[in-house]
Structure 1
């Protein structure tokens, strides 16, 4: 079968629309006609970070669409179903069995390497393999091959352009608050980075009626969006040098109960830990710098916790329906963050989100 996909030919290169051949779904696979797909920071970061030998490649991991075909062994998904696609997990290892599907032992192979477990790719061009299977979908394509473990059936009346980002970005931010931190109303929560993930965390904190919610960003447009979701904005660039941590402590009554870092900037993380109250927790969800420096004395003497978090510690099978239910009830107003683009405007969408002109770009096919 033919499909049109946004292909990255090499590290750091732009997305280019190209006609590819896509396999028919195997017995344990699902073919989805993609209707909308979110552009996530991970797509942009990974196309810069991966080595030359892992290209050409199709990214995209926040796909939503309509099932076009299912393999003979697939259960629970049928042709015509509307679905949101998320990350893959084996569902069999001890971590998956314990509910920690984001930490699956097979996570790297299933989500990042670019091919099936037998070494084959789902895409080809002129007889040559094109890497796909990104998060088990590679949904920057009109057609995508997915699996039962990363496909979530949703109601047909759900707007797929709004639902698509729940597959990763919205799930990550909201899940970090609802699952990992699990705050009560008396908590104080600081979100570092007010992009799509950070603002999802803000919205989830407001849904939990957290008393004090701060959003930290250097872009006023992002802080305005955070204010619309119920947070107090803090722009570090407008504060005197060396006063940022004290400002956070002042606004949180002595230090934050918890924080969520979406920036992956080492200096931001270091300051975020310093701004915690004793026994406070910082949850790190950003992908970026591989090393950070922390004050070990502060960490130990004040009983602080710094922990990583994949996909909001969520199981998409239960989390995506829960979050969409909150969205439809008005408790998670994330639709306002979405700006739609045509598929052929993908590079424009990248430029706009990196410049801070939009929060969550979604490509509509």
Structure 2
């Protein structure tokens, strides 16, 4: 009996160590996912278009957990590694194990802001700052489940043939837990990295989108796929056309790094230790550029942003101007 009791104690300790080392909540590690299949292992690595081991392990664990709970039924799941370079480097992953497909595409990260008392702005290439604070415009790593997709008409733009083209943009809402639990009030989700700028109203009463006075918005189409986002996950328009339909059925998205990863890497760097030798992961090229990453918890950052908003109130909204020549 003593031997059996000792054996159970050892097994329990091992389970706790696995959960801690994986960086996942206990619920993630309660049921270990099956071994990574050979076809998927071929995509594991730290090169462009590959997925790093810890990112895949956590994404699979989250997906299988939500499958077992009945929260998702989608045969595909998603992951993102926000420690990798942005721009057009591939760091967002579409994984469909049922049909053995893996795809890596570019995605944007949160731009952040620079306000009195806190500079948490990110460069285009590498993200140094992360946060779950309202109005921070920063990425938050952790578990998400995709939810409803909303498509809205934004206006017209002039196409390559000189004709007016109607522009609608789809937005997929994400729901999170833990650090990501406020994803919905923050309006965090996924969408194409394209928008209209310089919008004005033009008379077009025959348009199905015309207002009661017969006007519709017109603007210049801007593609910012090589830049940053407001904290959402953004893709090139062509990639979004493939990804968003796959999210019609709810599924999981895991974004790395979580706050615990950021804090652990920062502590290692400050102590002069190599994160990789300490068993931690961060993309090496971006770490050399940002030096020390930082997570700004909402409890710290939101009071600063609230005060900034009080000190710098937004001007009252102005009506959309009429296009010149109307």
- Do Structure 1 and Structure 2 share a fold, with TM-score over 0.5? no
Q: TM-score, normalised by structure 2?
A: 0.27
Greater fraction helix: 1
User: Quick one: higher RCO (CA 8 Å, sep 6+), 1 or 2?
Assistant: 2
Q: TM-score, normalised by structure 1?
A: 0.25
